Copies of this chain bind each other. A is one copy, B any other.
Amino acid sequence: MRKIKNGIILAGGNSDRLWPLKDKIFTMYLGKSFISYLTEQLSQYCERIFIVVNDLNKTQIQDVTKNLHTYIVQNKQYSGMAGAVMSCSGKLEGEALILNASDYFNFEIISKIIEKSQDRSIDVILIAKKVNSYFPGGYLTIDGNTVISIVEKPLPQETPSDLVNLVIDYYKDFDQFLSYIIKTETHRDDWFENGLNLMLTKRRVEWIQYSDYWYALKYPWNILQLMKFFLFQIKESANDLTSVTIDPSATVSSKVVLGKNVKIGHYSKISGPCYIGDNTVIGDYSLIRESHIGSNCLIGSSSEVARSYIGNKVSLHRNYIGDSVLSDNVLMGAGAVTANFRFDEKDIFSSVSGKKVNSTMRKFGSIIGKRTKIGVNSVIFPGIKIGTNSLIGPGEKVTSDIPDNGLFFEGSLKKV
C-alpha cells in the first residue's frame, strides 16, 4: 500500500477546556506519550510527519520528533486550526492528511482513505462517524458519497444528519486547501470550517464512514476514557521481575504492567488491568483497580485507587481515589477522599469556563492539577477541579473548583 506524502498533526491548541490539565499531548499512557502514539500510528500511513506545536511545547516536542519528524511552531498571528495549517504554508507540498492531536481512533481507517484517493478527481476526503446522541461537533450534509456542507455545532434539534465529522481530513493538494482558507474571512473559531465549506462548493469532496472507537480529549475527564482504552490493550504478560519487588503476601492479578524497580508492599492488591510506572512504591494494604499510575509515586499504605489516572511523583496515604485524575507531584494527606457519585445517582456535572458541563459519568471524582496538596481527612466533591500549585487545608470540604495557586482553608478561598 502506498503512503500519503504528508501527515500533519495539529498540536498547537490551547485547550482551556482541559484545565487544570496541561500538555495533553505529552500525557503518558503505558509508558509512552500520547503524541508518540499518534506519530507512530501515522508513520504507517504517511511518508513525512509535521507536528504543529505552540511556543510552550516546542522544546518538549523535540524528544518526540528527533530526526524522524518535523515540528512547526504555530505562527502567533493566527489562532485555531486554520492558523495551524496556515503556519505550514511553504513547508510542504502535494497531498496531506490532517489530524487533530485531541483525537484517538483506529488508524486503519486511513487505508480506506488511501484507497479512495486513487481516484484523482476527488479533492478532499472527510471521515464521519454516526452518533446516537448529540455531540457538539461538525455535522455533514451528504448526497451519496458527496459532502454538500458541514454545519458546525448546530443546536441539538437542528442537526442536518447524525454524521459527525472527525478531523482526519485528506487534501489532494495542500496548497489548494490553503488557498480556500486564505479566501475565507478570518474568524477565530470556525475559520477552518469556513474554508472547508467554501471548498465544498467548488471542489469534489467525498466522505467515508468510520464506525470504530473514537476518543476526543475535550474535557479533562476524557483522560479517564482514553486511559481505560489503553489499559484494556494490556495483554497477559510476564513482567520483568528482576528489578520488581512484590511481597509474597501481595496479590497481583494478570494484566498488570509493572515498571522497573516497582515495589509492592504487604497485603496489597493490584487488580488489572493496571499500569504502574518505574520506581513507584505501592505501600502496604493498598488496593489498585483498573488504574494507571505514573513513575516515582508513593501510593501510601491503606489507599484505594479505582479507575483513576495518577501522574508521576504523586504521594497518597490512606486515601480513596475513585474515577479521578491526579497530576504530577500531587500529595494527599491521610484520610483525604475524592467523593465520586451523587446521591441521586445522576450524571456528574463539572464547571468548564463558567458553564456546567455534563460529564456523562455517574461515577466521577476530581481532577487535580500539578503540585497541589490536599490536607488530611479532606473531602473533594464529585466533578470538582483543583488547579496547579494549590493547597487545601486539613479537614476541608471542597464543593467548587479551586483556581491555580489557590489556598483553601477554613471553608473559603484565602488567596488566588
Binding site for B on A (CB under 8 A): 249, 251, 266-267, 269, 284-285, 287, 301-302, 304, 317-318, 320, 322, 333-335, 337, 339, 343, 373, 375-377, 379, 381, 391, 394-395, 397
Contacts and interface: CB of A to CB of B under 8 A. Distances in A.
B251 A251 contact: no
Contacts of A339: 333-334, 375-376, 394
Nearest to A344: B391
A333 B71 CA distance: 48
Report copies per complex: 3
Contacts of A318: 304, 320, 337
A373 B391 CA distance: 29
Contacts of A322: 334
A289 to B, nearest CB: 9
A394 B333 CA distance: 17
A337 B112 CA distance: 58
A113 to B, nearest CB: 48
B337 A377 contact: yes
Contact residues of A: prevailing secondary structure: loop
A219 B308 CA distance: 43
A343 B287 contact: no
A375 B341 CA distance: 10
A134 to B, nearest CB: 31
Contacts of A267: 249, 266-267, 269, 285
Nearest to A342: B373
Nearest to A321: B334
